[in-house]
Amino acid sequence: MSMQKDPDRKEIKFLNKFIDLDVAGRHVLEIGCGEGRLTWQYARMPGFTTGIDVDSDALRVATIDRPSDLENKVCFCNARSEQLPFKKETFDIAILAWSF
Amino acid sequence: MVHALSEIRRVLVPDGILIDLRPLLDRWQVDVVSAREVRKTGRLLDMPPGLEEDAAANQNMLQAEQDGWFKRESEEIFQLSFLWDSASEMEKYFKEEWSEFIGLDDETRQATRSAWALGDADSQVRVKVKMLITRWKKTITSME
């Protein structure tokens, strides 16, 4: 099945309008990252990105699809937003995308 | 959701930013589009579970603001598109992915099928999804 989601890249345009991701050293948490569709659009900008999702199949796809230049900048974790496996005050930015 | 906001707040640094990016049900527009023309074929139906989810999310964010967890800094509505190569592909996607929160009535289904079948060779089916983006700043309460 051929489906295009957001071919005009509106999401990333608005994300860039609302937050300056292009700052070295910033740590971003993306909640509900799925297969990484949105992640790949911004992850070159901040220092490091952690994507979480409850769907382990989606995370497997995201890990396989991760561009080689992002291997040291993006990691994924199978976790629920109600129980985040991170220490307090770890992230500068949290992105809650399509997660309700 | 409240637990999720509490957890997000916990892992954010002081003055950390939360971006909430999500769709809002609003009888999304369906079109058949080609390079030459756009034909409106109807609107989708908002189903009760989806409306309840939207209302709950809005209420939870409002509560988080009232409790002093986050401060709303900016907010905007925009539209983004989903495109399928045929009406049947759109219907299949709806059935598999969206059936809990949107509906497709017979009139819109038939109008979309007809417009696509009679349309140009490059015709696609488009749904314009209403999106909400909000920037929240973590606030420190007097108890902390």
Q: How far is B40 from chain A (nearest CA, A)?
A: 19
Q: How far is A13 from chain B (nearest CA, A)?
A: 11
Pick from B10, B78, B83: CB nearest A3? B83
Count Cβ–Cβ pairs < 8 Å, chain A vs chain B. 123
CB A88 to CB B11 under 8 A?
Answer: yes
In a domain, B144, yes or no: no
Query: Which residues lie below 8 Å from residue B66, measured CB to CB, with a gap of 6+?
Result: none
Whole-number pLDDT of residue B116: 96
Q: What is the reported pTM? A: 0.91
Per the listing, tokens 């050293």 go with A25
Best probe of the A interface among B3, B8, B62, by most A CBs < 10 A, is B8
Burial class for B12, CB neighbours closer than 10 Å (0-12, 13-18, 19+): buried
A11 contacts in chain B (CB < 8 Å): 21, 80, 131
CB B125 within 8 A of CB B90: yes
* pLDDT in 10s for each residue of chain A, 100 residues: 588 999 999 999 999 999 988 777 899 999 999 999 999 999 988 789 999 999 999 999 999 999 999 999 999 999 999 999 999 999 999 999 887 5
CB B21 to CB A88 under 8 A?
Answer: no
For chain B, 144 residues long, the average pLDDT of each consecutive 10-residue run is: 88 96 96 96 94 91 91 96 96 92 95 96 96 94 66
The three-class DSSP label of residue B90 is: helix
Write out the DSSP string of A38-53.
THHHHTTSSSEEEEEE
Number of domains observed in the structure of chain B? 1
Residues 37-96 of A with CB under 8 A from B: 81-84, 86-96
- Judge if ipTM > 0.90: yes
In a domain, B69, yes or no: yes
Q: Which domains does chain A have, with CATH numbers?
A: 22-96 (3.40.50.150)
Best probe of the A interface among B2, B3, B18, by most A CBs < 10 A, is B18
CB B99 within 8 A of CB B52: no
In a domain, B25, yes or no: yes
CB B138 within 8 A of CB B9: yes
Helices (H), chain A: 10-18, 39-42, 56-65
Q: Does B20 touch chain A (CB under 8 A)?
A: yes
Query: Which residues lie below 8 Å from residue B141, measured CB to CB, with a gap of 6+?
Result: B67, B68, B69
Q: Which residues of B105-138 are buried (b: 16+ CB within 10 A; e: fewer)?
A: eeebbebbbebbeebeeebbbbbbbebbbbbbeb
Neighbours of B18 (CB within 10 A): 26
In a domain, B143, yes or no: no
**Measured distance CA(A91)–CA(B2) in Å, rounded:** 19
Whole-number pLDDT of residue A1: 58
B3 contacts in chain A (CB < 8 Å): 81-83
In a domain, B120, yes or no: yes
Q: Which residues of A28-57 are buried (b: 16+ CB within 10 A; e: fewer)?
A: bbbbbbbbbbbbbbbbebbebbbbbbeeee
In a domain, B57, yes or no: yes
CB B1 within 8 A of CB B52: no
CB B135 within 8 A of CB A18: yes
In a domain, B127, yes or no: yes
In a domain, B123, yes or no: yes
Domain carrying residue B91: 2-138
